[in-house]
């Protein structure tokens, strides 16, 4: 078997110290193959964005702390890399599209300069060649008047345009791994479709792997090869996309699926999962979802479930001792 492109082993990221610390990521293990699209889904506060930032060592310390675990990219442990090694890696072999474009672009440089800088640093292009390639990238992500926008500062263009500029910057060096944290949040549906089509095409052409962090299960159904469901800093379920949408196993996964509005519903009321994610992230004992789960048992309050292997991986006592064949889903794929 070939080594996976990315292997995350028992990763833990905490914020603060002592009893009040937040376990934003707690014992997460995942692998990603070359050319694969892995969607990471869950509510706000489930740890998705912290996980994506931790892969590139972008969690600010303090208040954050990488408590334990390994992040191996092509066999090299990112958690043990020096600052110079990280600078060479970021933006070249691994790129990231951030959730908040207005806060991620440098306000004192033009968007064209910020895209060209990556090309000149990692691809050694001349100033003229880098400018031409940056304009081409802006056109590729749907930026109107790309040559004019090249010289614009982030505060001179809309949030949606900033999002497109940041996507162009992330794709500039054709990375082997792209981490996309809500990449189409600020875009209208037409541009969203164009960006998703562009990501799929680049994946097919360059065999680029993608970690897609999103709450939009419709995008997941369209894009992902596999799905990882996070809750309170831990993984609840990992499955290939077809299996997941045919029948999610974890009660939390079923709740997420049931909350998706569907065409033809006579009642406009959205279904929600009662309660909120526990403050502080993962609990010290028991299942983290136990207080919100309609099927919670005594063991759920006492002992955290281990991942049960099979066609899917699920962290739930309901499936202990079973072959975890997918049950009938509570709702079909969106």
Q: Which two tokens stand for residue 314?
A: 């699920």
Give residue 37's pLDDT.
96
Per-chain mean pLDDT for the chain: 86
Per the structure block, which two tokens stand in for 84? 């110079």
How far apart, in whole angstroms, are the C-alpha atoms of residue 305 and residue 314? 9
- Tens-place pLDDT, residues 292-304: 998 989 899 888 8
Q: What is the DSSP pairing of strand 209-213 with strand 37-41?
A: parallel
**Helix (H), strand (E) at residue 131:** helix 127-140
Mean pLDDT, residues 80-108 taken together: 88
pLDDT digits (tens, 9 = 90+) for 24-48: 998 899 999 999 999 999 998 899 9
Q: Which one, of 14, 30, 16, 19, lies nearest residue 313 by Cα?
A: 30
pLDDT in tens, 130-184: 999 999 999 988 888 999 999 999 999 888 888 889 889 998 888 999 999 988 8
Number of Cβ atoms within 10 Å of the Cβ of 302: 12
Domains of the chain and any CATH numbers: 1-93+177-188+204-255+304-334 (3.40.50.300), 100-174 (no CATH)
Place of tokens 């940056």: 134
**Using CA atoms, how far apart are residues 249 and 18, in angstroms rounded to an integer?**
34
Condensed to tens digits (0 to 9), the pLDDT of residues 114-131 reads 999 989 999 889 999 999
End-to-end CA distance of the chain: 34
CA distance linking residue 247 with residue 240, whole number of Å? 11
Among 92, 114, 211, 200, residue whose Cα is nearest residue 164: 114
- Helices then strands, counting H and E runs in the chain, come out as 11, 11
Average pLDDT over residues 227-243: 94
pLDDT at 249: 92
* Residue among 26, 96, 120, 107 at smallest CA distance from 66: 26
Question: Cα-atom radius of gyration of the chain, to the nearest Å?
Answer: 21
Task: Give the residue among 106, 260, 270, 98 at the shortest CA–CA distance from 185.
Answer: 98
| Cβ–Cβ < 8 Å for 295, 319 | no
pLDDT attached to residue 330: 40
CA neighbours within 13 Å on the CB side: how many for 20?
2
Residues whose CB is less than 8 angstroms from the CB of residue 180 and which lie 6 or more positions away in sequence, other chains included:
96, 97, 170, 199, 210, 211, 212, 213
Taking alpha carbons only, the member of 16, 10, 8 closest to residue 280 is 16
Percent of the chain whose predicted confidence (pLDDT) is above 90: 48
Residue pair 164/137 in contact (Cβ under 8 Å)? The answer is no
Does the pLDDT value for residue 328 go beyond 50? Answer: no
């Amino acid at each position: 078997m070939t080594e996976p492109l990315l292997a995350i082993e028992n990763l833990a990221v905490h914020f603060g110290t002592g009893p009040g610390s937040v376990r934003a990521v707690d014992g997460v293990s995942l692998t990603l193959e070359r050319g694969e699209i892995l969607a990471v889904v869950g509510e706000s506060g489930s740890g998705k964005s912290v996980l994506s930032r931790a892969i590139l060592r972008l969690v600010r310390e303090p208040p954050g702390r990488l408590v334990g675990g390994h992040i191996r990219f092509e066999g090299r442990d990112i958690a043990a890399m020096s600052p110079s090694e990280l600078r060479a890696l970021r933006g070249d072999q691994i790129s990231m599209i951030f959730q908040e474009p207005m806060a991620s672009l440098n306000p004192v440089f033009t968007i064209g300069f910020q895209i060209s800088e990556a090309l000149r640093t990692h691809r050694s292009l001349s100033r003229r060649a880098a400018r031409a390639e940056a304009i081409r990238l802006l056109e590729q992500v749907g930026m109107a008047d790309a040559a004019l926008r090249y010289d614009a500062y982030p505060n001179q263009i809309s949030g949606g345009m900033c999002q497109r500029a940041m996507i162009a910057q992330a794709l500039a060096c054709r990375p082997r791994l792209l981490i996309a944290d809500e990449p189409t949040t600020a875009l209208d549906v037409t541009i969203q479709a164009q960006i998703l089509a562009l990501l799929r095409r680049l994946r097919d052409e360059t065999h680029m792997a993608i970690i897609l962090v999103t709450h939009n299960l419709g995008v997941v159904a369209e894009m992902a090869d596999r799905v990882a469901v996070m809750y309170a800093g831990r993984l609840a379920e990992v499955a290939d996309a077809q299996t997941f949408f045919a029948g999610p196993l974890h009660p939390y996964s079923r709740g997420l699926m049931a909350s998706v509005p569907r065409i033809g519903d006579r009642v406009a009321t959205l279904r929600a999962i009662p309660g909120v994610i526990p403050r502080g992230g993962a609990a010290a004992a028991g299942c983290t979802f136990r207080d919100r789960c309609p099927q919670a048992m005594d063991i759920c309050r006492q002992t955290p479930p281990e991942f049960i292997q099979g066609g899917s991986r699920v962290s739930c006592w309901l499936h202990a001792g079973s072959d975890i064949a997918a049950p009938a889903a509570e709702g079909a794929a969106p």
